[in-house]
Structure 1
Amino acid sequence: MNKLVVRCTAGRNVILDGPGTLKIVNDGVTIAQAIELPDAIENAGAMLIQEVAKKTNDLAGDGTTTAIILAREMLRFGLSAIASGANPVALKRGMEKTVQALVRVLKIKSKPVNGREDIKAVASISAGNDDFVGNLIADAIAKIGRDGIISIESSSSFETTIIFEEGMKIDKGYMSPKFITNPDQSTIVFDNARVLVTDQKITSIREIVPLLEKTTQLGVPLLIIAEDIKHEVLATLVLNKSRGITNAAAIKCPGFHEGKKAILQDIALMTGADFLAGELGFSLEDATSDQLGVAQKITITSNSTTFVADPTTKAELRARIAQLKKDVAETDNSYLSRKLSERIAKLSGGVAVIKVGAHTEVELEERKLRIEDAKNSTFAAMDEGIAPGGGATYVHLTKYIPEIKNSIEDPEERIGADIIGKALLVPASTIANNAGVDGSAVVEKLLACEWEIGYNAMTNKYENLMDAGVIDPCRVSRCALQNAASIAGVLLLTQAVLVEKVKQPKPTVPLLPGISP
Structure 2
Amino acid sequence: MAKLVVFKDKARRALEEGIAQLTNTVRFTLGPRARNVLLEKKFGAPQIIHDGITIAKEIELEDPLQNTGARLIREAAEKTNDVAGDGTTTATLLAYAMISEGSKNVTAGANPVNLRRGIDKTVAYLLKEVESLAKPITDRKTIAEVATISATNDPEVGEMIASAMDRVGRQGVITVEESKSLDTDMEVVEGMQFDRGYMSPYFVTDAERMLTEMEDAFLLITSSKISAVQDLIPILEKIAREGRPLLIIAEDIEGEALAMLVVNRLRGVLNVAAVKAPSFGDRRKAILEDIAILTGGQMISEDIGLRLDTATLQMLGRVRKVTVTKDTTTIVGQGDTTTQVEKRVAQIRKQLDQSDSEYDREKLQERIARLSGGVAVIKVGAATETELKDRKLRIEDALNATRAAVEEGIIPGGGTVFVHLTKLIPDFKTSLNAEEQVGANIVMKALSYPLEQIATNAGLEGTVVVEKVKELEPGFGFDALENRYVDMVANGIVDPAKVARSALQNAASIAGMYLTTEVVIADKPEPEAPAPAPGGGMGGMGMGGMGMGRYGHGWHGHGRHGHDVELPLASSRLPNNNPQGIPQVRWGSLHYSWVNLKRRLSLKGADEMGWEEDKSQVPL
TM bracket (short chain): over 0.9
Shift of 1:16: 1.6
User: What CA distance in whole angstroms lies between the structure 1 residues aligned with 2:434 and 2:315?
Assistant: 68
Shift of 1:469: 0.8
Distance 1:466 1:188, change over 3 A: same
Contact 2:235 2:309 (8 Å CA) reproduced: no
Partner SS state of residue 213, structure 2: strand
Residue in structure 1 matching 2:463, options 440, 453, 463: 440
2:310 corresponds to = 286
Matches within 5 A, 1:67-82: 67-82=91-106
2:149 corresponds to = 125
Contact 1:133 1:371 (8 Å CA) reproduced: yes
Contact 1:395 1:446 (8 Å CA) reproduced: yes
Residue in structure 1 matching 2:37, options 15, 18, 37: 15
Partner SS state of residue 186, structure 1: coil
Shift of 1:225: 1.5
2:213 corresponds to = 189
TM-score (norm 2): 0.79
Task: Please give the per-residue CA displacement for 1:349-393, whole angstroms capped at 9, x wherever unaligned.
Answer: 222222222222222222111111111111111111111110012
Higher RCO, 1 or 2 (CA under 8 Å, sep at least 6)? Answer: 1
**Coordinate RMSD, CA, aligned:** 2.2
1:243 is matched by which residue type in structure 2?
R
Q: 2:51 aligned with 1:31, yes or no?
A: no
Task: Please give the per-residue CA displacement for 1:370-425, whole angstroms capped at 9, x wherever unaligned.
Answer: 111111111111111111110012122333324543454x4433332332222111
Structure 1 runs of 4+ aligned residues shifted over 6 Å read: none
Task: Please give the per-residue CA displacement for 1:273-297, whole angstroms capped at 9, x wherever unaligned.
Answer: 1122321222222221111111221
User: What CA distance in whole angstroms lies between the structure 1 residues aligned with 2:266 and 2:318?
Assistant: 24
Distance 1:274 1:10, change over 3 A: same
User: What CA distance in whole angstroms lies between the structure 2 residues aligned with 1:398 and 1:296?
Assistant: 59
Partner SS state of residue 331, structure 2: strand
2:517 corresponds to = 494
Task: Please give the per-residue CA displacement for 1:11-47, whole angstroms capped at 9, x wherever unaligned.
Answer: 3122324135333222111222222222222122122
Shift of 1:121: 0.6
Contact 2:294 2:371 (8 Å CA) reproduced: yes
User: What CA distance in whole angstroms lies between the structure 1 residues aligned with 2:531 and 2:217?
Assistant: 68
Shift of 1:511: 5.5
Q: 2:300 aligned with 1:247, yes or no?
A: no
User: What CA distance in whole angstroms lies between the structure 1 residues aligned with 2:265 and 2:61?
Assistant: 65
Shift of 1:263: 0.9
Q: Mean alpha-carbon deviation: is it higher for 338-347 or for 324-333?
A: 324-333
Distance 1:21 1:207, change over 3 A: closer
1:43 corresponds to = 67
1:445 is matched by which residue type in structure 2?
K
Q: Mean alpha-carbon deviation: is it higher for 242-251 or for 86-95?
A: 86-95
Residue in structure 2 matching 1:54, options 52, 56, 78: 78
1:504 corresponds to = 527
Gaps of 5+ in 2: 1-18, 537-578, 581-620
Shift of 1:153: 2.2
Contact 1:15 1:22 (8 Å CA) reproduced: no
1:5 corresponds to = 25
Contact 1:59 1:334 (8 Å CA) reproduced: no
Q: 2:321 aligned with 1:297, yes or no?
A: yes
Partner SS state of residue 299, structure 1: strand
Partner SS state of residue 205, structure 2: coil
2:485 corresponds to = 462
2:136 corresponds to = 112
2:446 is matched by which residue type in structure 1?
A
Distance 1:330 1:113, change over 3 A: farther
Shift of 1:232: 0.8
Gaps of 5+ in 1: none
User: What CA distance in whole angstroms lies between the structure 2 residues aligned with 1:359 and 1:483?
Assistant: 37
Percent identity, aligned pairs only?
47
Aligned residues: 514
Residue in structure 2 matching 1:200, options 224, 235, 242: 224
Task: Please give the per-residue CA displacement for 1:212-263, whole angstroms capped at 9, x wherever unaligned.
Answer: 2333233221111222224111111111111111122222221112211221
1:358 corresponds to = 382
Contact 1:7 1:430 (8 Å CA) reproduced: yes
Residue in structure 2 matching 1:482, options 502, 505, 520: 505
Distance 1:499 1:511, change over 3 A: farther
Q: 2:282 aligned with 1:258, yes or no?
A: yes
1:367 corresponds to = 391
Contact 2:355 2:361 (8 Å CA) reproduced: yes
Contact 1:225 1:252 (8 Å CA) reproduced: yes
Distance 1:331 1:108, change over 3 A: farther
User: What CA distance in whole angstroms lies between the structure 2 residues aligned with 1:402 and 1:289?
Assistant: 73
TM-score (norm 1): 0.94
Residue in structure 1 matching 2:239, options 202, 205, 215: 215
Distance 1:147 1:428, change over 3 A: same
Task: Please give the per-residue CA displacement for 1:285-335, whole angstroms capped at 9, x wherever unaligned.
Answer: 222111111122111112221111221022322332233334333434323
1:77 is matched by which residue type in structure 2?
E
1:506 is matched by which residue type in structure 2?
A
Q: 2:332 aligned with 1:308, yes or no?
A: yes
